[in-house]
Amino acid sequence: MVSCGYCKTDIVKYQKVGKGRLLRMYVDRIIESSVDLSKNYGALFCPNCNKQLATRVTLKRKNKEAYILIRSAFNTRKIG
């Protein structure tokens, strides 16, 4: 689960693969979202406090859509 680092609102349920920190979220691995991801196509904003959490890009190597997360703007927690 990814939540806002400012107001702690849950934003996205994400399927992470591998070890290490969460640096980017691939759009095809997002399971649930409390935000309409098609509304602000270029960025991901918190619906509660309206702070920017990530920027949407197309990765050239993999040709996939992903959100590059802004450090300290989000929190993560593991769901059972």
Number of domains in the chain: 1
Q: Look up the domain containing 49 and give its range.
A: 2-76
44: helix, coil or strand?
strand
How far is residue 79's CA from residue 62's CA, in Å, rounded to a whole number? 27
Q: What is the pLDDT of residues 20-33, one digit of tens each?
A: 999 999 999 999 99
Does 80 have pLDDT greater than 80?
Answer: no
- The reported pTM is 0.89
Rg value, the chain, Cα: 12
Q: How confident is the model at residue 13 (pLDDT cuts 50, 70, 90)?
A: very high
